[in-house]
Amino acid sequence: MRLDKFVSDAAALTRSESRKAIKSNRVTVDGTVAKDVAMHIPENASVFLDGEEIFYKKFVYIMLNKPQGYVSATEDKKQKTVLELLDPSYARYQLFPVGRLDIDTEGFLLLTNDGETAHNLLSPNKNFGKTYFLRLEKDISDEEMNLLEKGVDIGDCVTKEAKAKRISSNEIELTITEGKFHQIKRMAKAVGNNVVYLKRLSYGELYLDKKLEIGEYRPLSDKETQYLYNVHKKK
Ligand code: URA
């Protein structure tokens, strides 16, 4: 890879900022100041910018606490998209949401440019659970929670086994492994109830960071990214 591309991607600079940094002798490759913006950077080279090592990132993973009022899409003619919540410097990565949250659903939305990992997290065959917090219009009984766990008819299919945990008389957490259109809302309807508030809490064991306010985001840590890779390797 060319040095200017490497520096631009690794340090989140525009290509012209990257070239300027190189021409101002701020970049070293394997200990030597690099002046040629087109220099080929071999794998395993150590590249430093202003004395700090920088690393090329092929894939980016962002944990977003999605607010209501945004659609889970990369573009939309009428509505604001979740990508508009990100700093414009992320545009270069061509991120997309891993699965959809409805416009009125809040919570954990993973954004990435890693198509294979996204596919693995969404594939029903991988049995990868996503947990939601639901506030319901009416109280929910233990029997109704059992029905949700066993699977309910939501019109075009019977849902796969799920896990339900009571939080209060009308609030539960529900873990599902599929991602049918409006699945949680349709499951609630199937037991004679309605969702009045919905928030995704986790992808598997990867939980929404409680420090993220609604609309805030952060990159996944290396440990969290590794978790995503390991999950689908095991299946
Ligand atoms: N199920 C729904 O009904 N809506 C969502 O946003 C996510 C899951």
Q: Is 102 a catalytic residue?
A: yes
Measured from the CB, is residue 183 less than 6 Å from ligand 1? yes
Query: Based on the domain organization, do 101 and 46 belong to the same domain?
Result: no
Name the DSSP class of 149: H
**235 pLDDT above the threshold of 80:** no
Catalytic pick among 36, 102, 114, 209: 102
Q: The domain containing residue 136 runs over which residues? A: 129-203
| Residue corresponding to tokens 């939080």 | 167
- Say if ligand 1 is within 6 A of residue 159 CB: no
Show the DSSP H helices in 126-193 as ranges.
142-150, 183-190
Strand partners, 176: 130
Give the nearest ligand 1 atom to 182 CA. 3
Give me the residues paired with residue 40 across strands: 2
Please name the residues in contact with 22: beta carbons below 8 A apart, sequence gap of 6 or more. Answer: 3, 4, 7, 34, 35, 36, 37
Is the pTM higher than 0.75? The answer reads yes
Residue nearest to atom 2 of ligand 1 (CA): 182
Residues 99 and 39 grouped into a single domain: no
Helix (H) or strand (E) holding 22: helix 15-23
40 and 77 share a domain? no
Going by CA atoms, what residue is nearest to atom 3 of ligand 1? 182
Domain tally, the chain: 3
Output the domain CATH number for residue 209: 3.30.70.580
- 141 and 36 share a domain? no
The answer to whether residues 1 and 16 touch, using CB atoms and an 8 Å cutoff, is no
Helix extents (H) in 34-165: 115-122, 142-150
For ligand 1, is residue 8 a contact (CB within 6 Å)?
no
pLDDT value at position 232? Answer: 65
Segment 114-159, tens digit of pLDDT: 999 998 888 877 788 999 999 999 999 999 999 999 999 999 999 9
